[in-house]
Structure 1
Amino acid sequence: MTTVHLDPRERQLKSLLLDAAAYMDRTRANSEAEPGSTPQQQPKDEPLVLRWAGGWVRDKLLGRQSHDIDVAINCMTGEVFGNQLREFCDNPANKDKHNLRKEDIGNLHKIAKNPDKSKNLETATVKIFGLDIDFVNLRTETYAEDSRNPEMDFGTAEEDASRRDATVNALFYNIHTDEIEDFVGGVADIERKVIRTPMEPFQTFMDDPLRVLRLVRFASRLQFTIADHVKDFMGDKRVLDALRVKISRERVGVEVEKMLKGEHPRDAVRYIQDLGLYHTVFTDPTNGDMVQPNLTGWRETYSFLHSFPTHPLYDVLVTSDEERYLAWVLACIVPFSRVPFDAANYRKKPLAAMLAAREGIKAPNKITEIVTAAMLHREEIVDLKNIVVQGTEHVNERDYFGMRIRAWDARDKHWRLQVLFAMLDDIMHQAQQLASKDSVTSTEAASDVSEAIDAVHRDWQAFINHLKRLDLLDSPSIKPLVDGRLLARALGLKPGKWMASALDICMAWQLRNPQETDPAGAIEEVRQQKEELGIADLLS
């Protein structure tokens, strides 16, 4: 018999729920159905059985800590149970028995069905003893072939287990018997570290195509292997077409975000490539003409990012957990880096890379703006890197580099991540060029790619080292000596179109003269360039 060890909070929760269930059983027989409730919302006439379900059970068996518990209820909906639990907890005698403080139980929130977002189940959620609890009834699902929204009804624990995405997520802990209930072989699959669907995989994915991405996420997170017979259908064209049509892109984006924020983003991305999911995930599903970029060299690119944290350069370019996630988003978008675009008209005709982020995974504006900036500035960033590597003109001109870095970083565009994007593009392009070479063995090809990546890394390290020597890594945060008000007053002019360019002249002067604290020299520089600024007549 398989069981689990509960920590003190979990034991306290179990005791509370068992007492509440007994209370509900005693009072339910005399209660009437709530006015206006549907048959599916009305309690079934059988004793309450509560099971902790899914991920919490899996994580317990794996020795992982989990603060989220799904409570599966056999005979009433989550909302009905949650409301009656609140009534039970409001009783002073029950408060005393379970040592309930006001802060121990939060407000109950109903999460309604939302078919447009592929949210087909009504649940109730509440925080109890610091644990996030979801209440939901055991259910069966019946899918029509032309609909993404299933018909839901009360079901048995076995029926509920069979409709879940993976056997390892289909386990129950029965709090009444203190036993693990395994109807689909999930315990054995955990021991074997295998991801498998409870039902036949093709039907599982056609019923809910999002399960394809969920299995990728769980396989990478748990470091499990997806069973071969399951993988065979994950990239099936019919399944991928259903994923495009039936599932909201918001839910696709949520899964991708969880993958990339997890401990093993490289493994998730590798599954996306190996299973042929890339062009379904990173696309604009409403655009039939959306370009499908060449993925040659992409494996080498994200594999480099996976190993990159061991190198000092990584800590310069990626400075926070948020930027780690953004770095992986950029790695997923980098196949679009060489897709042609109209830089002068990019607002009216968005870049394919931006569409892949905005429409494919519903990335927020901040991320799409970083993607767009990385694309727009890539060639200029590469040009500056080449100046350093080749030691050509401007190499020691602090203002030449500093002003460009400040422009890249304007409005929080994360200039260091833009440099990383250019570096990843460099690696992918080198790998693509080497892949096109003929008459080399696989061993020779791998060696050539490794040497090319090392060379790319050295060049970009040299670029960043040069910026360090010029003391420009923090140039976007340099406080200007001259602001618009001071400049207008010093020149005796009203602010106008000339002001932005004049302030750039002041900042460039400041970058050339980092020890100066007197703004007079910067203002004089503006006077000397009055012709270029179009203010000569105004100053005479």
Structure 2
Amino acid sequence: MVKRKSEVLGGNSSIQPLPQIRKMATQPATTTIELSPKEAQLKDLLLDAAKFIDKSRTIRDQVILRWAGGWVRDKLLGIESHDIDTAINVMTGEAFALKLCVMCQQPDAVKKHGIEESDIGGLYKIARNPEKSKHLETTTIKLFGYDVDFVNLRKETYTQDSRNPQMKFGTAEEDALRRDATVNALFYNLNTGKVEDFTTGLTDMKSRLIRTPLEPFQTFMDDPLRVLRLVRFASRLEFTIDPTAEKVMGDPQILDALRLKISRERIGIELQKMLKGNHPRRSLEYINDLGLYHTIFTDPSKPDIPSPDISNWKAVYECLDSLRQNKTPGSIYDVLVRSDEAAYYAWVLVAVCPWENVENPKHSGKGKAPPPLGTLAIREGIKATNKLCDLATTAHNNRTEIMSLVKAVSDKAPFIAERDRFGMAIRRWDLRVGHWRVQVLYAFLVDVMNVLGTKSKDPVSVDELLRKWQAFLDHLQELDIMEAPSLERIIDGNQLTKALGVRPGKWLARALEVCIAWQLRHPENTDPAGAVKEVQSKRAELGIPRKKKSR
């Protein structure tokens, strides 16, 4: 068995089990919850289903139902939730749900509970999948607009080498103690109408504290994913993580367990939930402060690759959060982040920034060049999607050109009025994966990280950087080229080949780009003749064949 933290550090360890938390409560603390009319309707239906089942059972134990975890927590915080986990004491979730469906088909039940055809959706079962942190089968039904999961109360026993526990039927106390945080271990007992707290959940809710029900070190060793879950809940709820838990969350043994026992897909799911939440900066701050960065954003199959320097990473996520919080029309964030998808991509690229300064291995020239290390870190570390990985690679590849144009505008270079130069650059950045604006934001954030980390006699302030990049974006707006990737061609391929009197060939794509560049230089001209003439002047350069003479 794995030794507990107190045993590892010796008898004088400052990290001790918390007896008031570890001890099962014989009489749980309680409070009440005021249900909405729909919630009350759902409660009455489920209680009748329990009575319906009790009548057909020969076992004396009464079916007792509890709403568990997140719904109870959110309800106490005044947050509406449409996902309700229902825990059952003496039968599986599937068995209860099947009996519920039988009862709901009876005319008396339909009339009593005002059940409309649209009130009850299909029953479906989510299979057990330990690698996705799904240790027990659950059955879900759509009821009165709620997604209701049914599962039995359970207790868990872990082995040293696996985060997949042995599952058994358990009591409400045992079910509460196996959970990741006390604020997620609360029950609402449908039979009594009261909240049940077998840990310290209600007290911790008032204190806005995220704490593990059992001793933290063993809790995280049993299931290291709980480290990330606590980070997510603390960020989302704006709670504080218990200092006793914080002390061990970055422990080398915990980090090793996180690497070995947790699938990278599951780590990616937790991170996605963090970065798509309302407080992504806080999530990254926890990851930074707790020493989790190198465990999360890495290629675990290549332990010998160099680690990025994250000493200036804080400036990056704080800068993006400041831009987000202080967004105004025409500001950097307003111009560059135009959708929820772009916002999520921006936060992932924030995580990639430190890798920008790690030298990529030189390509031998044979075969396709490997992606940059930053792309590998999210592809293998959090199993990012192909689109997101392609965006990280493209942002890396385009950063040098973006920086050069920013400098040109700042230095008032003579060519900055050339609309086609900037417009065609934007089209190139956007060509493969889109999101050219997010790529520009990435270049800006890397600039923030690097400039603020430079030990120079004349350090550049954040305000100076902001003014420089804002001037660049304002210049693009003045040139009216922000929508250059979607610019409609003044002439298409068929029209161009016909005007030139030749057949299509490999030259055509480049020739059409020449036409687009001409359009950007002549935005008021709607006659394609000028574009054709431009192409004709570059026949040799483009490799356009000579016009065939008619016989």
TM-score range, shorter chain: over 0.9
User: Quick one: distance in 2 between partners of 1:403 and 1:330?
Assistant: 24
Q: Identify which of 502, 522, 535 aligns with 1:526.
A: 535
Q: Distance in 2 between matches of 1:270 and 1:125?
A: 35
The SS at the match of 1:487 is: helix
Kindly tell me: are residues 135 and 483 of structure 1, through their superposed partners in 2, closer, same or farther at Cα, counting changes over 3 Å?
same
Contact 2:163-2:224 at 8 Å conserved across structures:
no
**Cα–Cα, structure 1 residues 219 and 347, in superposed 2: closer, same or farther, change >3 Å?**
farther
User: Is the CA contact 2:502–2:546 (under 8 Å) kept in the aligned structure 1?
Assistant: no
1:384 aligns with 2:405: yes
The partner residue of 1:227 within 213, 225, 242 is: 242
Distance 1:45 1:403, change over 3 A: farther
- % identity of equivalent residues: 55
Instruction: Determine the C-alpha separation between the residues in 1 that align with 2:469 and 2:368.
Output: 30
Answer yes or no: is the 8 Å Cα contact 1:45–1:75 preserved in 2: no
Does residue 82 of the first structure (1) align with residue 100 of the second (2)?
Answer: no
Q: Structure 2 CA distance, aligned partners of 1:428 and 1:179?
A: 51
- Aligned residue type for 1:462: A
Of residues 175, 179, 187, the one that matches 2:202 is 187
Q: Which amino acid aligns with 2:316?
A: T
TM-superposed CA distance for 1:102, in Å, is 1.2
Q: Which moved more, 1:115-124 or 1:169-178?
A: 115-124
Task: Show the counterpart of 1:329.
Answer: 348
Q: 5 Å matches for 1:217-296?
A: 217-296=232-311
Offset at 1:470? 0.7
Residue type of the partner of 1:485? N
Q: For residues 122 and 346 of structure 2, what CA distance do their matches in structure 1 show?
A: 37
| Aligned twin of 1:483 | 492
The answer on 1:16 being equivalent to 2:37 is no
User: How far 1:286 sits from its partner (Å)?
Assistant: 2.1
The question of whether the paired residues in 2 share the 8 Å contact of 1:54 and 1:171 is answered with: yes
8 Å CA contact 1:491, 1:539 repeated in 2: no
> Which residue identity does 1:512 align to in structure 2?
R
2:358 alignment counterpart: 339
Letter in 1 for 2:43: K
Deviation sequence 1:397-443 (CA, Å, 0-9, x none): 11111001011111442111000000000000012214xx69xxxxx
The 10-residue stretch of structure 1 (410-419 or 275-284) with the greater mean CA deviation from structure 2 = 410-419
2:382 to 354, 361, 369: 361
1:315-326 correspondence to structure 2 within 5 Å: 315-326=334-345
Give the unaligned 5+ runs of structure 2.
1-29
**Is 1:496 equivalent to 2:505 in the alignment?**
yes
- Given the alignment, which residue of 507, 511, 522 partners 2:516? 507
Amino acid at match of 1:356: A
What residue number does 2:33 align with? 4
1:467 matched to 2:476? The reply is yes
Task: Deviation per CA, 1:285-311: give whole Å up to 9, x if none.
Answer: 222234321102110111011110214
Preserved contact between residue 177 and residue 185 of structure 2 (Cα < 8 Å): yes
| Alpha-carbon spacing, 1:215–1:347, altered in 2? closer, same or farther (3 Å) | farther
Q: How does 1:29-428 map to 2 (within 5 A)?
A: 29=58, 46-309=61-324, 310-311=326-327, 312-341=331-360, 347-428=368-449
Question: In the TM superposition, what is the alpha-carbon distance from 1:159 to its structure 2 partner?
Answer: 0.4
Residue identity matched to 1:11 = A
Q: Which residue of 2 aligns with 1:441?
A: none
Secondary structure at the counterpart of residue 337 of structure 1: helix
Q: Could you list the per-position Cα deviations for residues 336-370 of structure 1 after superposition, in whole angstroms to 9, with x for gaps in the alignment? A: 12223358889541211111222222221221111
Moved more, 491-500 or 466-475: 491-500
1:492-517 Cα offsets, whole Å, 9 max, x none, are: 22211111111111111111111111
Determine if contact 2:502/2:545 at 8 Å carries over to the other structure: no
Instruction: Report what 1:25 is aligned to.
Output: 54
- Structure 1: runs of 5+ lacking an equivalent: 30-43, 439-447
Cα separation, 1, equivalents of 2:482 and 2:303? 42
CA distances 1:45-102 after superposition (whole Å, capped 9, x unpaired): 6211100000111111111111111101111111111111111111121111111111
Supply the distance in 2 between the matched residues of 1:453 and 1:347 (Cα, whole angstroms).
Answer: 38
Shift of 1:538: 5.2
Seen in structure 2, the aligned counterparts of structure 1 residues 256 and 345 have a Cα distance that, compared at 3 Å, is farther
**Cα drift, residue 148 of structure 1:** 2.3
Q: How far apart in 2 are the matches of 1:281 and 1:366?
A: 19
In the TM superposition, residue 537 of structure 1 has moved relative to its aligned partner by: 4.3
**TM-score normalised by length of structure 2:** 0.90
- Measured in 2, the distance between the counterparts of 1:539 and 1:273 equals 67
The 3 A distance-change label for structure 1 pair 287 and 503 is same
**Distance (Å, rounded) in 2 between the aligned partners of 1:535 and 1:179:** 81
What is the CA distance between 1:280 and its match in structure 2? Answer: 0.9
* In structure 2, distance between residues paired with 1:357 and 1:150: 28
1:116 is displaced (CA, Å) by 3.5
Note if contact 1:283-1:290 (Cα within 8 Å) is conserved in structure 2.
no
Partner residue of 2:22?
none
Cα distance in 1 for partners of 2:143, 2:284 equals 36
Q: Which amino acid aligns with 1:359?
A: E
- Give the Å deviation of 1:177: 0.6
Higher mean Cα deviation, 468-477 or 451-460?
A: 451-460
For 2:31, what is the secondary structure of its paired residue? coil
**TM-score where L is the length of structure 1:** 0.92
How many angstroms apart in 2 are the aligned matches of 1:150 and 1:260? 28
What's the Cα RMSD here?
1.7
Matched residue type, 1:388: V
